[in-house]
Amino acid sequence: MGSKFKNINKMEKQTLLVPKGTEVEQVEIDGNKVVITFKDKDVFVPKDGDVCVGKDFFYREYIYMFQDKIDNFTCTYFCLTTEKFSLSTAFTLVNRPRKATPSEAAELFSAMEKAGYKWNSDEKKVENIRWRAKKGENYWYSSCDCNEGESSYQPQISVEHGGIFDNSIFTQGDYHKTEADCQKLCDQLNATVKNFVA
């Protein structure tokens, strides 16, 4: 419910200015008392996935993705300040948030993409943007080498052609930009095989 205005003076003609952005919700008269209740109108209430603009205690402006309201003041967002993009942060608003303009929303999404993230509007979550080589570029995948009854996984380099094999490797997730990244997976696979055989 909105704010209240009480007039406890003798009843006489008075002019009351309604605060900007509000409307009169209720007027109660009790003898010589008048109680007027105001309510906000056209208030933007963010929902999950809305791109908003607000300010913190230091009056820094944030363009942010509303995710989850913690309490009346503090919210968790994926946000962009003038300094940097942050995947997960919390700050206390000192003003009522407003809906971001299309150009402000584009600025946030551009910063997210540069940081390696994208917004999944269906599932209301931020996801990693998976790297895929352009045609003619190299990528790495794990290959099983069987020697004398022992299996070991080793990084294997391949060239992206956009064919069935490349698509299959990419879809199953064993698709890496560097040999070092691929080696991490190979080490995990080798450890799993060793524990399974033992």
Give this prediction's pTM.
Answer: 0.48
Q: Where are the domains of the chain?
A: 4-40, 51-128, 138-197
**Residue 107: helix, strand or coil by DSSP?**
helix
Long-range contacts of 131-137 (CB under 8 A, 24+ apart): 131/177, 132/160, 132/170, 132/175, 133/160, 133/177, 134/160, 135/160, 135/161, 135/162, 136/160
Q: What is the pLDDT along the chain (198 residues), one digit of tens a residue?
A: 455 555 445 556 666 666 666 677 777 877 777 777 766 666 777 887 888 888 877 887 888 888 765 544 444 455 665 556 666 566 677 777 889 999 999 988 888 887 777 888 888 777 778 888 999 999 999 998 877 667 789 999 999 998 889 888 887 889 999 999 999 999 999 898 888 765
